[in-house]
A and B are shown apart, each in its own frame.
Chain A
C-alpha cells in the first residue's frame, strides 16, 4: 500500500518521536497527518501574518470554522474550502463531497448551515473535455446541496485555459448558531466516551489527503479510488441529529471525519484538549467485512462524525441517532496519558502521542523567488493595443464572453431559496439572507481575480479583499469577517511560494486596513499538472451585516427617470482587463492600482448613502469596466431589462476610450437616485471625499453612451440585443 509522500527526514523524525520503528499503520497515519493538506507544513508561517482578531470575532482560525458576532446573541459561522484534486479526477463526486465536507465543518460548530456559495475555475467552456468537468461539478454541487436542503445562493465562476487540467472547486458555507451553542472539537474529560455516528466506514478515499498534496501527471486519472462517494441523504440526517445533540447540550466535543478520516478526527480532538484517546477499530461500523485497521483508520468515507460524550449522556445520544436512523457506536474513551492508542479488540495496533501527529508535524522552510517571466508579463505597451473602431461590437462580445455572461445556467440548477431567507438572489453584487426572528440580514460574496494575482500577486491579493468588501457595501452591508481559500501550484518551486507569500501580504494589508479579520481558511497547493501551475488563485469569502434588512440593496436599475451616478475616479488603465484578454488575446500588463484610502472612502460613501435611503441601486465597477457595469445594471433587473442614457463629460477625454469604457480602475461604483435625492447624495459624496459625477438617466429601450458635446456616440444598443448576448449558454 502506498505510504504517501513522507521524506527521508520525516521518516527519521517519526522514528525519533516513537523511539522505535513505526509499523505500517503508524506510518500511514503519520503520512496522512503530515501531508501538506493536513499539516499546512509550508503555509503555516505565512498564514500567521493574517490578522485574525477583532471585536466581532468569536472564533479565530483553529477550529472547524470561524465565527463572528452578528448581534441578538447569534454567531455567523463560516468557512471556504477547496476540493480541487478530487473534482478533476471525478467531477461529480469530487464537487459533491466538497459540499458535504464544508457543511460538516459548519454544523460541527453547532451552527445550522443556511447558505452555500461556490467559487469555480474551469478551462474554456467551448472545449468538450472541460464541458464534461463543468457539467459534472455543477451537477455534483446541485445534487448534494439541493438534497441536503441548504440553499446555494451565489458564487463566482471564471474560465481560463490555465485551469483546463486543474479545475478549482471551492465551496463556502455559512451557518447560524447561538453563542452559547458554539461547539469545539475537543476530547475533554478523562473517562468520557468516544462515539462514532453517521455512515459506515468503507474502503473509499484512503489517502485522499495525500493525493491532494501532490501534483498531477497524465496517470492521475488512475487515482479515482482515492475519491470519496457522497450520500447527501445521510448528511441531512447527520446534520439534523448533530444539531439536535447540540441543542440538547449532550456533547462535550464534536469533530467531523474529513481529511485523514478517523485518524485526523481522533488525534485532533485529543491534542486539542491535551488528553489521549483509545479506540477499538472492531467497534467501528463498517461497510464490508475483513477491513484492516489500516483501512478503517485511513478511510475518508463521507458523512461521519466523532463525538465525545459524558458517560451518563451516552444513552440519550444513541437514542437521538436511532430516531434519525443513523448508525452510532461507542468506539473508545478519553484517557489522561496524551496517547492516541488504536486497538483491535485486545491488541494494540498503533500507539503514538496524539500531538506528534498534529502540533509536532515538521514545518518546511522553502525558497521563494519571483519567476523569470514576471517582467515580460507586466510589460504591456498600451500603444500596441489598437483603439476599438466599434465599441458596440466590443461590448456585445464582452457581454457574451464566458466570464462576463450571465451565469443563470449554473445557479438555476441550485436551489437558492430553500429555508426562505434569500432576500437578494444570485446575480447581484452579493447574496443577502435575512436572519429570521431578528431585524438583520447577512450579505455574502466570494471574489478573486486570478489574472491580477498572476500579473502582480500583492495587488491581486489587495484587490480580492477590496472587491469583496465593495460588493458587500454595494448591498448595504458592513463587512464583519472573511474566509480565504488559497489555491496555488507546487510550493516546492520558489516562484510559486513567491506568489503565495505576496498574495498573503496583499490580503493581510487590505484586511488590516478595512479591519476585516480572517476567521477561517484553507490552503490548496500542488494545483498543477505536468509542471504547469494554475494562476495564483486566492478566493475570498466575505460576510457583512445589514441592519435593518430593508436596507438590502440590489445592483439593477429600478425605474425610468432615476439619475445615474459614477462614484470614484477613472484612470487610463487597461492592463490585466477582460477587455485586453478577450478582445486582444493578451494576458499582460500591470493590473489596476488600488489605494486603500480611496477604496475606504468609497465604502463609507456607499454605506451612508444606502443608510440614508438616498440610492435605488448600487453596483460595483469590476471586470469589464464601466460599460459592463452599466450593462449589468440594465440587464439583471428581475422584471426584465431597462435602458439608460449616459453622457460623458470632457474631463474624461484625456484617457483612452477603451480605458474609459472597459478599463478596470478600482474603487468605483454606479449608483442611481431619485431626482429628489440628487443634491443630498452629491453633497454626501463630497463630504467624504469621493468624486461623484452625474452621468445619465435610467429609461428607454437602449443603453446609450455618448459624449456631452454629442459629437461622439460610443454605445447605442437595444437592451434586448444585449440581453441575448449576455444570456449565451456557457
Chain B
C-alpha cells in the first residue's frame, strides 16, 4: 500500500502529510513531482496544502493544469482514493472533481486557529473510523476557505450525503459564531458521489501527532488505511 503526496511548486504541507503517514502510521509514502505524468504503484493520492503556483490567478487554478493532474483525474475516475487538504481542496474544485468554489474568508484575513468540525457522514473511506455527529478539534489555516455553491448544488450535495464535515461549536451546534470563514451551510469538507474523492479545508495532518497535543486528525488517515486494506484483501 503506497500513498503518493503530489508536490506542486509552492506546496507547503507536502512534508507534513508525508511525515504523518511515514512516521506516525509507518506507511509507504512517495512524493509525486507535478511534472510527472504517471501514478504507477500509488494506491492513494494526497493533494497537500500550500500556495501552489503562488495562488496566482485563483487558488488552485494553475495547479489543475500541471502535467500530473491528468493522471490524478483518471486515478479518481477508476475509484482511487484522493484526499485534497486546503489548497488540495481548492485544486479539486478547480478540476471539477468536486462541485462548488472557494472565495475569500468573510473577514478578508488569513485565519490560523483550531476549529471544531462535525462528522456528517461516517460512511466514506476517509471517515469510517468516526461516528456521524462526532466533533473533532482540528486546525485551519487559509485565506480562501469560504465554500460557495449555488442552491441546486447544495441541495444535491445534501441529497447524496456528500457533505462530510461542517464547522460547529465544541458541542456540535451549527451557528455563524463557529463558522470561521463564512462557508455556505458551514461546509468544511465534501466528497464526490462515489465517495472516493474528498476535499477539506481543515488540516488533519497537523493534529495527528501526540507531541503536538491533539490526535483527532489520526482518525482520517486511519480510516483511509482501513479502507485501502479492505480493498486489498
Residues of A near any B CB (own CB < 8 A): 139, 142-143, 146-149, 231-234, 236-237, 324-325, 408, 411-420, 422-423, 434, 436, 549, 638
Contacts and interface: CB of A to CB of B under 8 A. Distances in A.
A415 B141 contact: yes
Contact of B213 (A232, A325, A423): A423
B19 A147 contact: no
B69 to A, nearest CB: 17
Contact of B112 (A232, A236, A415, A419): A415
5 contacts: A233-B53, A233-B54, A236-B51, A415-B112, A415-B141
Interface of B: 9-13, 15-16, 19-20, 23, 49-51, 53-56, 109-114, 139, 141, 143, 203, 205-206, 209, 211-213
Contact of A147 (B51, B139, B211): B51
A420 B111 contact: no
A413 B19 contact: no
B16 A419 contact: yes
Contacts of B213: 423
Given A233-B53, A413-B112, A436 B19 contact: yes
Contact of B206 (A142, A420, A434, A638): A420
A420 B54 contact: no
Contacts of B20: 420
B110 A415 contact: yes
Nearest to A422: B212
Instruction: Tell me which of A142, A233, A325, A423 has the highest count of chain B C-beta atoms within 10 A of its own C-beta.
Output: A233
Given A232-B54, A236-B9, A413 B110 contact: yes
A415 B110 CA distance: 8
Nearest to A138: B109
Contact of B141 (A139, A408, A417): A417
A324 B15 CA distance: 17
Instruction: Tell me which of A149, A237, A423 has the highest count of chain B C-beta atoms within 10 A of its own C-beta.
Output: A149
Nearest to A147: B51
Nearest to A424: B213
Contact of B50 (A149, A234, A408, A417): A149
Given A147-B51, A233-B10, 8 more contacts: A147-B10, A148-B12, A232-B51, A233-B54, A413-B110, A417-B141, A417-B203, A419-B16
B54 A231 contact: yes
A423 B54 contact: no
A-B pairs, 8 with minimum CB distance: A233-B54, A149-B12, A147-B51, A415-B141, A420-B16, A415-B112, A413-B110, A417-B206
B141 A418 contact: yes
A146 B56 CA distance: 14
Contacts of B53: 233
Contacts, number: 85
A233 B112 contact: no
A418 B12 contact: yes
A639 to B, nearest CB: 9
Nearest to B109: A413
Contact of A233 (B9, B13, B110): B9
A154 to B, nearest CB: 13
Contacts of A436: 19, 23
Contacts of A434: 211-212
A724 to B, nearest CB: 14
Nearest to B12: A149
Contacts of B49: 418
Q: SS class of chain B's interface: helix, strand, loop or mixed?
A: mixed
Instruction: Tell me which of B20, B109, B111 has the highest count of chain A C-beta atoms within 10 A of its own C-beta.
Output: B109
Contacts of B211: 423, 434, 549
Given A233-B9, A417-B206, A420-B212, A412 B112 contact: yes
A325 B7 CA distance: 14
Nearest to B50: A149
A546 B130 CA distance: 35
A234 B203 CA distance: 25
A233 B10 CA distance: 6
A434 B211 CA distance: 8
Contacts of A234: 54
A414 B209 CA distance: 21
A232 B19 CA distance: 24
Contacts of A549: 211
Nearest to A145: B110
A417 B55 CA distance: 19
A328 to B, nearest CB: 15
Contact of A412 (B55, B111, B203): B111
Given A418-B12, A419-B15, A419-B16, A146 B51 contact: yes
B213 to A, nearest CB: 7
Nearest to A550: B211
Contacts of B139: 417
Instruction: Tell me which of A237, A411, A412 has the highest count of chain B C-beta atoms within 10 A of its own C-beta.
Output: A412
A142 B143 CA distance: 10
A418 B110 contact: no
Instruction: Tell me which of A139, A232, A325, A415 has the highest count of chain B C-beta atoms within 10 A of its own C-beta.
Output: A415
A128 to B, nearest CB: 18
A434 B15 CA distance: 15
Nearest to A231: B54
Contact of B110 (A142, A231, A237, A638): A142
A353 B97 CA distance: 61
A420 B12 contact: no
Contact of B205 (A146, A237, A415, A420): A420
A434 B209 CA distance: 12
B16 A418 contact: yes
Nearest to B15: A419
Contacts of B10: 147, 233, 236-237
A638 B115 CA distance: 12
B112 to A, nearest CB: 5
A374 B138 CA distance: 52
B183 to A, nearest CB: 17
A139 B110 CA distance: 9
Nearest to A143: B110
B112 A420 contact: no
A102 to B, nearest CB: 18
A413 B16 CA distance: 20
B9 A324 contact: yes
Nearest to B35: A323
Nearest to B213: A423
Given A147-B10, A233-B9, A236-B10, A416 B56 contact: no
A413 B113 CA distance: 9
B110 A146 contact: yes
Contacts of B9: 233, 236-237, 324-325
A549 B213 CA distance: 12
Contacts of A143: 110
Contacts of B23: 436
A149 B51 contact: yes
A419 B141 CA distance: 12
B112 A414 contact: yes
B152 to A, nearest CB: 34
A175 to B, nearest CB: 14
A375 to B, nearest CB: 46
Nearest to B23: A436
A638 B212 CA distance: 13
Nearest to B139: A417
A414 B111 CA distance: 7
Nearest to B9: A237
Nearest to B53: A233
A417 B85 CA distance: 15
Contacts of A146: 51, 110, 141, 143
Contacts of B209: 420
A685 B101 CA distance: 59
Nearest to A441: B211
A408 B203 CA distance: 20
Contact of A413 (B11, B51, B111, B205): B111
Contacts of A408: 113
Contacts of A412: 109, 111-113
Contacts of A415: 110, 112, 141
B151 to A, nearest CB: 32
